[in-house]
Every structure is written in structure tokens, then in C-alpha cells.
Amino acid sequence: MTPAESARHIPATRPAGRRSAIVVGGSLAGLSAANWLRDAGFAVEILERSARPLQDRGAGIVLHPSTIRYLAQRRGVELDAVSLGVSRVRYLRRGEGIVSDAPSRLRFAAYGVLYAELLAAFGARDYHLGNEVRAVRDRDHHAEAELADGRVLTADVVVCADGIRSGARRALLPEVGASLAGYVAWRGVAPGAELSRMASAILSDAITYTIMPNSHLLTYPIAGGPSRLMNWVWYRNVGAGAELTDLLTDDQGRVHDFSVPAGLIPAQRVAALREDARGVLPDAVAEVIGKTADPFLQVVCDVEPPRLAFGRICLLGDAAFAARPHAAAGTAKACEDAWRLAAALAECDDVRCALARWQAGGLDLGRNLVRRSRQAGIRSQFDCTWRVGDPLPFGLYEVGDSEF
């Protein structure tokens, strides 16, 4: 279905006798909310700006029980169908190989696999690609979403899951901005089948960390077609200003604000990244980066809003709190808040009251996650007090709750 055809299927009026929801943004937060809300009896439409499905954002996600709750409980999806586990958590050091080796109960998923499963659960009919929302408004008896083409849609509740650059958050809370952490995350995936025997032996059944002065890097495998993919994230410090602007300039000369997608990083910058990797990283990890066709880049920052509910409108996922990735729980937070949102709305007919009650838990969770993730980032990137063998900082409510 083209965006125009899809748009024609958006009901112009609200369904009689049934509460309705509009979800702005059709990525993991939006799909999670939409699935839970529909199961709670809502008629739900998702409005997604992208004209194409989002599968190609290829990167890994450390799974959390909250991330998989909908698929497991409501769709009977088996853990092994959407994620894989590794048996070891390892620390590596250049020239020394594995310097710490412990058991692991973590699981990892590919963004594309989670997205495809959540979208299959929701169905394509009410998932409207190519529909950008330019404004949301809270009215006395309904909420509105105004599309870029001028149409105005109404619903009982509007959930804004439009990501870290959320236009809804900018409009509702103009004073809240993203504060830069002072470093970026280089990311990518390399085909597991292309790795040497040496690299496979070290990396393929493990999550690995390499701690360096003012930097660290992790790898873990994710599913990807017939063979696994080796996912990696390398945190590197970059001051604000010209250096960061330069890094965020793509191969067409466009300056991005938070990320440069795969395929748009200038070739000479990718070459420099690979050369740096060969110069400072353990051989196995440098090999993975060397074999990654299209690395991409995300600026690390914190976003901490003082509110999540605005009458019949709410913020969810990265549109609400965006935490540094060190606790590996941003998606988990989105899924947890989506589940709690549907429960709050199911319990209470008064949407404003339900959102206000739901907000309290979301603020606690978001603040806690941002604080813990910030501490972990400062420890590794600036204080350099993260030691080989330290427990990983993964967790949604607390360190350790991401394990299966």
C-alpha cells in the first residue's frame, strides 16, 4: 500500500462505542503501545513518518524480559525465535586476548526481528507509513493529531512515540532539550560467517567488553539470516563544536543532528575508523570493524522531561526519556511504559486521570534509568574507573534485571 492509499484507510471519524488511540511513530515504542492498547479494547491507528518499513535499521538490542513481554504473553513467541543467548561475558585487552571470563544469562535481538514481530502482531491495515504528524493538541473531549498534509485526526488519546527528536516533546515542553554526553556511539554489524577462526572463538558465544582510557567497546552476536551477525558499539569521546559537526556531516555534506545513518558516512571517515581500530583494539574486535560494510554513528545524550502526560496526550519511548545506552534498557523502558499505559487506561474510563496516574511510574522509571546510565557513561568515558571484570551495568529497574 502506498502512503496515499494507506492514508485513505485512516478513519475520518472515531468509532462509535469504542475508545480510540492515535500513536505517532511506528517504531518499537509505538508498536508496543499500539499492540497493548488494541488488546485493551482501543481502536488504534499508527502514523509513521517514514515512507518505508523500518527493518533496515540493523543493529542489536540487549533483550530485557519487558521487551519481549507482549510477544511472549500475547503471541506465544518463543525466546529462541527472536533472540539468542551467549554463555560468556568476557573482557578483552589488546595484545592479551581474554582477560576476564564469566558466565552470562543475557540475550540479544536484532532491531529488525523485533520490529517485524511487533508489526506482524499489529497488522498492516492500521499502520500508516508516510504519514507525518506536525502537531498534536489536547481538546476538551478528544485529542488531535494534525498531519503534514493538513488533515486533522481525532482520538480519545494520542501517544507520541516519535523518538529522540520528538516534535511533540518540542512543542509540549520547549524548554527540554537533549544534553550532550560528550561522546558518540559508533555502531555496526559484520557477517559472522566472514570472521576468522580466531575472532569467532573469542566473540561468537560471548558478550565482550574492551575497556580503554576514555573509551570502551562491546560486541555481541545477533541473528541475521542464515549466519549470525556480530554487533558492536564503540563509545568515543568527542567535544561539542566543530569536531562533532564534522563527524555528523554525511557524504553529501548534510549535517545531521543526532545520528548519521548507515551508508551515509563518508568513505574516508570509515577508513579512519578502521585504521584507529587496528591501532588500539584487540585484533578480534578490529577485525569485526574492518568487516563491517556500513558503520553508523549516534550521538549519546540525555533527555529528561518533567512531565509525560498532557491531558489526553502522552510521551513514550525515546520521545519521553532518552537514556545513554549503557544500561541497555531504552527499548525495555518503552515496552514497560507501553504495557503500564494500557493497564492504566483499561482500569479507568477517564483518560486524563489514567494518564496522570500512569505518569508517576514513568517519571520514576525514566529518571532512575537516565541517572544510572549517566553514571555508567561517566565511569567509562571520563573517570576511567570501570575495571576489567566489573559486572555489566545492564538493567531496567536495577542492574541485573535484564538476565533470563
Ligand X SMILES: Cc1cc2nc3c(=O)[nH]c(=O)nc-3n(C[C@H](O)[C@H](O)[C@H](O)COP(=O)(O)OP(=O)(O)OC[C@H]3O[C@@H](n4cnc5c(N)ncnc54)[C@H](O)[C@@H]3O)c2cc1C
Contact positions vs ligand X (CB under 6 A)? 24-30, 47-50, 54, 61-62, 64, 67, 132-133, 161-164, 167, 185, 187, 233, 298, 317-319, 325, 328-332, 334
CA distance 272 to 307: 42
Residues 341 and 36 sit within 8 Å (Cβ to Cβ): yes
Shortest distance (Å) from residue 106 CB to ligand X: 10
CA distance 404 to 400: 10
Shortest distance (Å) from residue 280 CB to ligand X: 19
Name which of 207 and 351 has its Cβ closer to ligand X.
207
CA distance 249 to 299: 12
Shortest distance (Å) from residue 247 CB to ligand X: 15
Name which of 159 and 355 has its Cβ closer to ligand X.
159
Name which of 233 and 344 has its Cβ closer to ligand X.
233
Q: CA-CA-CA-CA torsion for 88, 184, 293, 31, nearest 10 degrees? A: 80
CA distance 380 to 334: 25
Shortest distance (Å) from residue 168 CB to ligand X: 7
All cell numbers assigned to 38:
488494541
State how far the alpha carbon of 330 is from the alpha carbons of 50, 89, 282, 291, 385, in Å.
Answer: 21, 21, 28, 27, 24
State how far the alpha carbon of 60 is from the alpha carbons of 96, 223, 389, in Å.
Answer: 27, 9, 22
All cell numbers assigned to 77:
513467541
| Listed residue (322, 302, 317) closest to 23, CA to CA | 317
Name which of 54 and 353 has its Cβ closer to ligand X.
54
Name which of 166 and 200 has its Cβ closer to ligand X.
166
Shortest distance (Å) from residue 310 CB to ligand X: 16
Shortest distance (Å) from residue 57 CB to ligand X: 7
Shortest distance (Å) from residue 366 CB to ligand X: 11
Residues 169 and 207 sit within 8 Å (Cβ to Cβ): no
3-state secondary structure string, 200-221? HHHHCCEEEEEEECCEEEEEEE
Name which of 97 and 109 has its Cβ closer to ligand X.
109
Name which of 31 and 344 has its Cβ closer to ligand X.
31
Name which of 132 and 205 has its Cβ closer to ligand X.
132
Shortest distance (Å) from residue 86 CB to ligand X: 14
